[in-house]
């Protein structure tokens, strides 16, 4: 019999508990974060006039960011032009920041519209930005049903919100 090494991921318990208790009365994480000024606690890494960006608390990969409008809208047809324009600019800016700090080899960009399409929070439109590295997909998700994320959200938050030195 093969001996297995134990993989501890206690932070996943919050996600499992949340999934079990999902219901109509659940708060929208985006609306909670937009109203709060405790950006570190909510892992909000950027704020604009119409949209903001925050780290995904249950990331697919290290650096997984979500960009959402402040308004609670769930479809593309309901988003205003100013919100859409700023959302795209913020995606560009966060991509640049992730490029500088994490140096990924590429990115996945996606929107899940509606619960049937995989939206965990279907009522509040958000765009996922996921850094990718050569070889970041391995046997762990397939055989162990686990994804290894190599950096804590707090460490990544600090890295992404650190003031930049002026380039000459």
The DSSP result for 113-160, as a single string, is -SGGGT-SSTTS--EEEEEE-TT---HIIIIIS-----S-HHHHHHHH
Give me the residues paired with residue 53 across strands.
46, 67
Q: pLDDT by residue (tens digit) across 88-105?
A: 999 999 999 999 999 999
Per-residue pLDDT for 33 more than 90? Answer: yes
Per-residue pLDDT for 168 more than 60? Answer: no
CB 98 within 8 A of CB 131: yes
Among 42, 43, 126, 128, the one annotated catalytic:
126
pLDDT at 166 (0 to 100)? 59
Mean pLDDT of 68-79: 94
Chain mean pLDDT for the chain: 82
The pTM of the whole model exceeds 0.75: no
Mean pLDDT of 1-19: 56
Range with the poorest average pLDDT among 8-12, 70-74, 151-155: 8-12
pLDDT at 134 (0 to 100)? 86
Q: What does the domain layout of the chain look like in residue ranges? A: 27-161
Mean pLDDT of 151-161: 83
Range with the poorest average pLDDT among 15-29, 34-48, 52-66, 117-131: 15-29
Known catalytic residue at 43: no
CB 138 within 8 A of CB 69: no
pLDDT band with cut points at 50, 70 and 90 for residue 20: very low
Which backbone phi and psi does 164 adopt, to 5 degrees? -80, 145
Q: Is domain 27-161 classified as CATH 3.30.428.10?
A: yes
State the Cα angle at 64 between 134 and 154, rounded to 5°.
Answer: 115
């Amino acid at each position: 019999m093969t001996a297995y090494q134990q993989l501890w991921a206690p932070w996943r318990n919050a996600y499992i508990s949340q999934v079990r208790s999902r219901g109509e009365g659940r708060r929208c994480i985006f609306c909670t974060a937009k109203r709060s000024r405790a950006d570190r606690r909510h892992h909000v890494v950027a704020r604009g006039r119409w949209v903001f960006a925050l780290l995904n608390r249950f990331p697919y990969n290290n650096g997984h960011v979500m960009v959402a409008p402040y308004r609670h809208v769930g479809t593309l047809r309901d988003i205003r032009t100013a919100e859409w324009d700023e959302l795209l600019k913020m995606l560009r800016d966060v991509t640049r920041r992730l490029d500088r700090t994490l140096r990924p080899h590429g990115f996945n960009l996606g929107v899940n519209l509606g619960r049937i399409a995989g939206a965990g929070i279907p009522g509040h439109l958000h765009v996922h930005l996921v850094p990718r590295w050569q070889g970041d997909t391995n046997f762990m998700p397939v055989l162990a049903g686990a994804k290894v994320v190599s950096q804590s959200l707090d460490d990544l938050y600090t890295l992404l919100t650190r003031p930049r030195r002026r380039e000459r």
